[in-house]
Amino acid sequence: MLRYNIIKNKNPREIVLLKGRPCAWGKCAFCDYIGDNTEDTAEAEKLNAEVLSRVTGCLGVLEVINSGSCFELPEKTLILIRETVKSKNIKRLFFESHWMYRKMLQKMRSFMGIPITFKIGVETFDNDFREKVLRKNAPFKTPEEVARYFDSPCLMVGIRGQTKEMIDRDMDILKKYFKLGTVNVFTNNSTPVKRDDALVGWFMEKYACLENDPSVEVLYENTDFGVGG
């Protein structure tokens, strides 16, 4: 399992993959990323300390991810992140959080003491598909609601049942309401949710321009950020 990398293309930053408690929601229909969670806090703290020791601060920006939300990391790990931020002169953090923690984001910003770009796994702004098919438990109704709390939505494309119109709308919303975003091209896993290869092909052709868009990162594989495995 790769847990440290330096992203050199868009938004250059160091990135670490840490281990936290199981996702508090854990019922998304498409997600099977549960093997990297643990109830053993001591185990997680030890591993996370080893990974964070690799951070150099060379770019002044650090992204911290785990299989869930940043609020599910152990308290000692969060303290160590804060210490790392100070000792390595890091000026900005990237964290990810589920919608359910939206009212805790400011508390985390205050705790870390530096600007945080908060990502959220929206998957799609089509409310029915997000809630009834993907089971995200993120029952917001408008993009404005998301933008009120979060800085960077993560979208998913290429799922059976999605339409070109839904994806076009998601891309329009991303560019209109947010300065940053990530698009994940769905890959088949152990869940019943399946990839639509024709839709993926259409997306990759129509939105090839995103390769040159500094505000949008497109992940064709789950490990494209250089961590995971």
What distance in Å separates the CA atoms of residue 73 and residue 43, rounded to the nearest whole number?
12
Predicted pLDDT of residue 223: 78
Q: Helices marked H in the chain — which ranges?
A: 41-52, 75-87, 105-112, 127-128, 143-149, 164-177, 197-206
- Which residue segments constitute the domains of the chain, with CATH numbers given? 4-219 (3.20.20.70)
What distance in Å separates the CA atoms of residue 58 and residue 51, rounded to the nearest whole number?
16
What distance in Å separates the CA atoms of residue 165 and residue 117, rounded to the nearest whole number?
29
Strands 13-18 and 61-66: parallel
Predicted pLDDT of residue 224: 80
CA 142 to chain centre: 20
Predicted pLDDT of residue 228: 82
SS3 labels along 108-132:
HHHHHCCCEEEEEEEECCCHHHHHH
Give the pLDDT confidence of 46-93 residue by residue, as tens digits: 999 999 999 999 999 999 999 999 999 999 999 999 999 999 999 999
Asked if residue 202 lies in contact with residue 164, where contact means CB atoms within 8 angstroms, the answer is yes
Instruction: Please state whether the predicted TM-score (pTM) of the whole model is above 0.85.
Output: yes
What distance in Å separates the CA atoms of residue 126 and residue 131, rounded to the nearest whole number?
9
Residues of the chain where predicted confidence (pLDDT) is lower than 70: none
CA 93 to chain centre: 13
Q: Which two structure tokens, joined as six digits, stand for 66?
A: 């785990």
What distance in Å separates the CA atoms of residue 99 and residue 97, rounded to the nearest whole number?
7
For the chain, counts of helices (H) and of strands (E):
7, 8
DSSP 8-state class, residue 36: T
